[in-house]
Structure 1
Amino acid sequence: MASTKLKGNPVALLGADINVGDKAPVVTLVAKDLSEIKVGGASEKTQIIVIVPSLDTAVCAQETRTFNTKAAAISDATVIVASMDLPFAMGRFCTTEGIENLQVGSDFRDKALASAYGVLIADGPLKGLSARAIFVVSKEGKVIYKEICPEITEEPNYEGALCALKEAAAPSGGHTCGCGAR
């Protein structure tokens, strides 16, 4: 069973153990307009799936703003930020913060994303929410980068995820940043 920490205290995670090289599960999230968004699996573009506990926290809000800025310069990938927040709250956040370069999706209905990607918090004060994580999924539907943040209250390794994106776009063996993307 995977784990992370919340303010230094161990937190168990539930769900599948998805690793680099595995096929990325396809799940359905709810967009801010209540339409459905499919994430994972094969796609026309590489996917950066950013998973956060709630947009209503300072670290999650900052992470989303950072990816929104970085997504503006990315044409060959789709950035999706997912949380358990209600779609209405996500929409309000995007409007207030000027988030326009990425998609947001809610996993509130059945926690399918958190379970399929092994980031569902099993215990502690955030039980039932998602741990902070990033998965980069190639066009072919393979996980090429995985980060479950070791501490939920800290921001992720942005450059690691973006390096994996570059690695996915490079011809075989062309880009080696050390991010572990395959």
Structure 2
Amino acid sequence: MANVTFHQDPVTLMGNELKAGDQAPEFTVLSNGLEKVTLDDYKGSVKLISVVPSIDTGVCADQTKRFNEEADKIGNVKVLTVSMDLPFAQKRWVKKHDITKLDTLSDHRDADFGEKYGVLIKEMRLLTRSIFVVDSNNRITYAEYVSENTNHPDYDKALEAAGKAE
């Protein structure tokens, strides 16, 4: 598993670490309207999945805003942000920050995404900061587990991978 810290303290990630070349696991999360959303709902599209511990904190907010701003530049890519935040909190945050080019999705109910993508922090029931690019055939082409949760991901590498994925 990826070695990850939260404020420099080691944390335990639940599930298996995914790598480029792996088949993206199916998952179920909730939309801001409380509807079930699955990977299959984005079938045939390239997906950039941005994972944050809590959308309403500094680095997480910056990460989500950055991918919202970059969404038009990377072509026909569906951008998703997944967190453990309640759908109601995500909806308020999205409205407040005028986020219109990505989907915010909640893993709060079942932690299904977190366990299947190896990003669920056992000690906190939060998701570790990470990025996955999934091609139109649901194959992972890029995966980054950010080693320190308070750090930003490598935006340029993630955006480049999303732009190249088919």
TM over 0.5: yes
Which has the larger share of helix? 2
Kept after mapping to 1: 8 A contact 2:74/2:163: no
CA displacement at 1:33 relative to structure 2: 1.1
Residue number in structure 1 paired with 2:98 = 98
CA offset digits 1:81-125 (Å, max 9, x no partner) = 0000000000000000000000010001100000000011122xx
Aligned residue pairs, count:
166
Residue number in structure 1 paired with 2:24 = 24
Larger radius of gyration: 1
1:53–1:40 Cα change, 3 Å: farther
CA displacement at 1:43 relative to structure 2: 2.0
1:147–1:105 Cα change, 3 Å: same
TM, length-normalised to structure 1: 0.86
CA displacement at 1:14 relative to structure 2: 0.9
CA displacement at 1:42 relative to structure 2: 7.4
Kept after mapping to 2: 8 A contact 1:41/1:141: no
Structure with more contact order per residue of length (Cα contacts < 8 Å, sep ≥ 6) = 2
- Deviating beyond 6 angstroms after TM superposition, the runs of 4 or more aligned structure 1 residues are none
Which AA in structure 1 matches 2:58? A
Residue number in structure 2 paired with 1:140 = 137
**Tell me, which stretches of 5 or more residues in structure 2 are unaligned?**
none
* Structure 2 residue 109 is matched with structure 1 residue 109: yes
Which AA in structure 1 matches 2:116? A
CA displacement at 1:53 relative to structure 2: 0.4
Which AA in structure 2 matches 1:139? S
CA distance in 2, matches of 1:161, 1:106: 21
1:144–1:40 Cα change, 3 Å: farther
Which AA in structure 2 matches 1:137? V
Structure 1 counterpart of 2:162, from 155, 161, 165 = 165
TM, length-normalised to structure 2: 0.94
Identity, % of aligned positions: 37
**SS state at 1:136 partner:** strand
What is the 5 A alignment of 1:57-136?
A: 57-123=57-123, 127-136=124-133
Which AA in structure 1 matches 2:135? S
**Tell me, which stretches of 5 or more residues in structure 1 are unaligned?**
170-182
CA distance in 2, matches of 1:17, 1:41: 23
CA distance in 2, matches of 1:24, 1:156: 20
Name the Cα RMSD after superposition.
Answer: 1.5
CA distance in 1, matches of 2:40, 2:20: 13
Which AA in structure 1 matches 2:153? P
CA distance in 2, matches of 1:14, 1:92: 29
1:65–1:98 Cα change, 3 Å: same
1:42–1:66 Cα change, 3 Å: closer
